[in-house]
Amino acid sequence: MNSTPPTSPFTEVHDGVFPSIDRNSKNFVYHQPQKRNAGAAYSHLVSPVEEPATKFNEAFRTEYPIKECGTLSETYLKNDLNMLFANPRFYSVDNLASMFHLCRTVSPLEYLNEFLMGILLAPQMDFLSNPDYTLPSSRPIGQGSYSYVYTISSTTTSTLNNDLSLVLKFAKSQHKSKVILQEALTLAYLQYVSPSTSDSHIIPFYGLTYINKSHFRRLRSNECVPGLILPKCRMNLYNFNSTVSHELSLIGKREIWWKLLKEMLDALKTLKINGIIHGDIKTANILITETPSVNEGHFDNFDFYLADFTSAFHTSQLPTDLNTTVEYCAPELIDNSTDHIPTFKTDLYAVGLCLLSFISQHEPYNELQSLVSHGSSPGTGSSSIQRSQWLINVLLKKDPINLNILRSNLFQDWKLELAVLSKILVERLPLEELLALLEQDYI
């Protein structure tokens, strides 16, 4: 369920100093994030959580002849950016020039040709000029409202099934290209100002390319759409909670919970330092590089990545519209007291709900809704409007812990973790204060 809050002025970036959490903490079992590894098994999923289409065989045809067109991607990108800047949703030319600290004397044309082309395009993996790169699968491994996600293969690699451990997240149609370009600009900016984004637990961005009907048959013959090259991850947190978590012991789950907290706070810290608000953090947008081992241990075979920046924006420019997921909204985003725009505090609140979902193994308020409807699936016997109003009323009670932790044993098993979540979800500590508290009281 999505909502589109009205636009309003932003909260300014906080100038506070971020403390670091001791890697030797007895509660924060820190593991150095793995470096980018093209040979690792990944699987990128995008939100909202939707079941992939079951029949996509007719969407692919690899026998189309592909002409040499080395400059086509640049041409398409230049045209798309011109259209994007003519009616900017999140980013304008002036806004981006300020973000990237470009000289004010640089003309828009020079800016587009010389700078954006260099940081966005991935010439080493240009689908339009190199027929070796394909999307061989008949099914997407993820999809959202604006995009599909497919595994990338190359006929020149020696890996199993020609798998490059990369995926392409591309626009469903040319009409939806703007959203993909905006996400590319956000990820390119984060990569530019913080090159080790993987160490910050933000999804690494390997560049932008374009595909056409020769790569994906469902595109129209005259369409050429942009796609983001991203690492392939095993699953998202939503899948983990529903399919893997029950196999682990309480000790193992608690250790993973603290790892999730540490790595998501790393991601939020990077975003806040660089003025980026994610705007749609939820379990479907937190990716896991590998399936955590069911054997007890240090669980150092995987990392978490914050992904799907389609709703993200920089605090220096007001977006003209914004989509977010109602279940993960902080109360101020839906009440009548504030400007109804995501902030750094609402991003932290959404992370808190993800951590709460990890404990309950249910999406926010889903278990309560099932109990209210006497065990039937959410929404049975009620209209969409009624369900939405029920959810809004529950959110405005401002009691997320008690309304999501409905089994008494969880309060005892997760006493320490719920105390931390109370700081996030009830006391609403800012990120800097939360990090300082964790460093002081939980090490």
Contact 401, 426 (CB under 8 A): yes
Provide long-range contacts, Cβ within 8 A and 24+ apart, for 261-264. 261/28, 261/355, 261/420, 262/21, 262/28, 262/30, 263/33, 263/201, 263/303, 263/304, 264/201, 264/304, 264/306, 264/351, 264/354, 264/355
205: Cα separation from own chain's centroid: 12
Contact 154, 171 (CB under 8 A): no
Of 282, 180, 298, the residue nearest 239 (C-alpha): 282
Q: Give the bridge partners for 306, in sequence order.
A: 202, 286
Checking phi first, is residue 213 left (phi over 0); if not, alpha (psi -120 to 50) or beta? alpha
CA distance 312 to 406: 33
Contact 25, 356 (CB under 8 A): no
Q: Indicate the Cα dihedral angle 87, 90, 95, 96, nearest 10°.
A: -100
3-state secondary structure of 12: coil
Q: Which of 126, 163, 280, 308 is catalytic?
A: 280
Residue 169 labeled ligand binder: yes
Backbone φ and ψ for 156, nearest 5 degrees, come out as -100, -5
- 276: part of which helix (H) or strand (E)? strand 276-277
Q: What angle do CA 411, 415, 419 make, to 5 degrees?
A: 110
335 is catalytic: no
Q: What angle do CA 290, 144, 303 make, to 5 degrees?
A: 20
Of 161, 159, 180, the residue nearest 169 (C-alpha): 180
Helical segments of 90-221, H only: 93-99, 108-110, 117-120, 177-193
Cite the annotated binding site for ATP by residue number: 169
Cite the annotated binding site by residue number: 169
Catalytic residues: 280
